[in-house]
Amino acid sequence: MIKKTKRAKSHPLLCWDAITIQRAVERLRKEFKPLYKLQSQYHWDVRLEGLLSRSFDAVVVTEVDQTIRWVSRGFKKMTGYSPAFAIGKKPNFLQGKETSTETRQKMRLQIAKAKPVCAILVNYRHDGTPYECKVEVLPLFDEKKNLRHFIALEQEIPKQ
């Protein structure tokens, strides 16, 4: 006698899911193509896919002296400042009277040591409105362990 087993229900592959994911990946590749070019040029010893899989609204790359080298499209959406305006400036142009001096000092000390740092700052948009922003700054080294740049992943914290 053959024993009948209960089969698990299967669901058909939804091809729209696969297409949506593929389009999102292609959009990200296009947006972050300049970032991958910088990685190739400076031989950063980091897996960008791992960094870019984290939650963020904007990405900022700075030189070792903190001069902005590149910003993602999300930077304009979050701050109101265009990439052309931001490039060549230091990120502190986003700060103002409500930005904690203690937090800024903590970040400066870690950055000076080429150590990762994560903090919440009050930044200011182009129109002057303040917003809270979680900023994670990571040093970018080349394969010989020379400090080349810093990358900041920024995420706006929604008001409660």
| DSSP one-letter string for the chain | -PPP-PPPP-----HHHHHHHHHHHHHHHHHTHHHHHHHHHHTB-S-HHHHHTS--SEEEEEETT--EEEE-HHHHHHHS--HHHHTTS-GGGGB-TTS-HHHHHHHHHHHHTT--EEEEEEEE-TTS-EEEEEEEEEEEEBTT--EEEEEEEEEEEPP-
**What average pLDDT does the chain have?**
89
Q: What is the pTM of this model?
A: 0.82
Mean pLDDT of 2-19: 57
Mean pLDDT of 8-20: 58
**Residue type for position 122:** V
Q: Please state the domain extents for the chain.
A: 15-157
Mean pLDDT of 36-47: 94
Backbone angles phi, psi at 74, to 5 degrees: -65, -20
Say if residues 67 and 90 touch (Cβ distance below 8 Å).
yes
Give pLDDT tens digits for 53-67.
888 999 999 999 999
CATH architecture of 15-157: 2-Layer Sandwich (3.30)
Within 8 A by CB and 6+ apart from 57, the residues are 74, 77, 78, 154, 155, 156
Closest CA to 153 of 65, 62, 51: 51
> pLDDT at position 24, please?
62
More confident residue, 47 or 94: 94
